[in-house]
Structure 1
Amino acid sequence: MPDFGSARGARSSVQPEWARPGLHTAPAPAAQEGILRGRHLADSEEPVAVFLIGMRVNRWRAVRQWLPVFRAMPRMLKELAADPESGLLSYRLLLGPGPRQVAAVQYWRRAGDVRAFAAANDREHRPAEAAFWRRYKAGRGAVGIWHELLSVRAGAYEAVYADMPPIGLGAAVGLTPAVHRPSGYGYVAATEAEVAAGLHAEVSVPAEGSR
C-alpha cells in the first residue's frame, strides 16, 4: 500500500480499508482469525452507489503535477469518514496495476450523496478539483484521473464472500450466511437450520449454469 503522506514525509492517518461503525444491519458471524468460514452475503435490502476513482502518474518527474492529486484523496476520505451524514459507507484503497496507478473503491448510500459532496463549496473536493484543473493544462498529461459512478437499485446486486474476512460492501452493511438458491443459480440467505447444519460452509459444485 502506498504511503499517503505529505511532501514533508508526515504519514497520513487514512486507513487502507474502512467501514463506518454501527452500520451493520445484522451482527457479523463469529470469525476465526478474522476469516468467516463458508459463504456469506452482504446483508442489505437497500440501494447502493459504488464510486470508483483513481489516478495514474504518466510522468514521474512532474512531481508538482501528480503529488497534489495523490495527497488530495486521503484528505477527502478522512473528511467523509468523520461525517456520519456524508453517505459514505466504506472504502478500500488499491495500488495498481503497476506502481503508477492508485484507486479507491467506495460504497455510498446513494449516488446523490456523491454528487452533493462533489458540489459542496465547504468540502475538500471543490478546492482539490479546482486546483487540479488549473494544473492540468500546464501539466500536458503528466497525471491522469478517472472515475466511475454506479447507482444500483435494491435487489439488483449480489455481493458474495467465501472464506473471507468482512470486506467491501459486506463490511459496511453486515453479513449473513448464504446457500445456493434451490434453482441452482445465485445465493440466498441460509435459514437457521441450514446454518446449524453447516450447509453454508459445505464445499459443493453448483448446478450447471449457476454461480
Structure 2
Amino acid sequence: MANPAPRVTHAYEGDVVLFLVGLRIHQPWRLDVVARVGGAMGPMLAELARNADELGYLGGRTVLDTGGPTVMTWWRSAEDLHRYASAGDRRHRPAWSAFYGYAAKAPRAVTIWHETYAVPAGGHESAYVGPKPLGLASIAGMVPIARRGERARERMRLTGDRG
C-alpha cells in the first residue's frame, strides 16, 4: 500500500489580508460592458506580480464559477492593499473610474464586489493533503504540519475555552 501524501500547512508567518474581488455577469449579451470590466483585471494582476514586494502583494489566484470570476489575493497588510487601490499612478484607480462610466450605460449588466479580511498572526491556519497545495501555501510555501501543530486549534494558537 502506498504511503499517503504528507500533511502540510502554509509557511507564512505574520498578519495577512485576504482580499476577494469578483465579477458577476447578469447580461452576457452586453459585451461592451462585460469585456471592458472583465478585461481590466488581467493588467492589474500583472502589475501586482511585477511589483509584489514594493506593493505588499503576496500573490493571488483566480477561480471561476457559473456567475463569473473571483480573484483571491493575499497582502501583507490592509494599508498596502488600500495604498494600491487608491494610487493614481497604478492600474486600479483608473480602471475603477472607468467602471462607473461602463456601469452607467448598462447598470444591470454586471456586479463588481469585494470582501476584505484582515487576519492577525496566529489567526490563520491551513492543512493540505495531496500533491499540490492551494491558497496561502501555494503562494508562501509550505512546511510539515507538525511544525505548527497537529490540530487546527494549535496552528491558530487557540488555548482554553472561549466560553
TM-score tier by shorter-chain length is 0.7 to 0.9
Work out the CA distance in 1 between the residues paired with 2:107 and 2:11: 46
Deviations along 1:103-155, one digit per CA (max 9) or x if unpaired, are: 11111111111100110000001110001011212212111110001000000
Runs of 4+ in 1 over 2 A off after TM superposition: 179-182, 184-188
Normalising by structure 2, we get a TM-score of 0.84
More off after superposition, 134-143 vs 172-181: 172-181
Inter-partner Cα distance in structure 1 for 2:107 and 2:94: 21
Structure 2 residue aligned with 1:63? 31
For each residue in 1:44-67, what CA deviation from the matched residue of structure 2 results, as whole angstroms up to 9, or x when unmatched?
Answer: 221100010000111011111111
Higher relative contact order (CA 8 A, sep 6+): 2
2:114 to 127, 130, 147: 147
Question: Which residue identity lines up with residue 75 of structure 1 in the other structure?
Answer: P
1:44-193 superposed matches below 5 A: 44-83=12-51, 84-96=53-65, 98=66, 100-179=67-146, 181=149, 186=153, 188=155
Displacement after TM superposition at 1:170 (Å): 0.8
Q: Which has the larger radius of gyration?
A: 1
SS at match of 1:45: coil
Larger % of helix: which?
Answer: 2
Aligned to 2:11: 43
SS of the residue corresponding to residue 123 of structure 1 reads: coil
- SS of 1:85 mapped into structure 2: helix
5+ long unaligned stretches in structure 2: 156-163
Aligned residues, how many?
A: 150
1:167: how far off? 2.5
The share of aligned pairs that are identical, in percent, is 33
| Partner Cα distance (1:185, 1:168) in 2 | 16
C-alpha RMSD over aligned residues: 1.9
**Normalised TM-score (structure 1):** 0.66
Name the aligned partner's letter for residue 82 of structure 1. R
Unaligned segments of structure 1, at least 5 residues: 1-35, 189-211
Displacement after TM superposition at 1:185 (Å)? 5.5
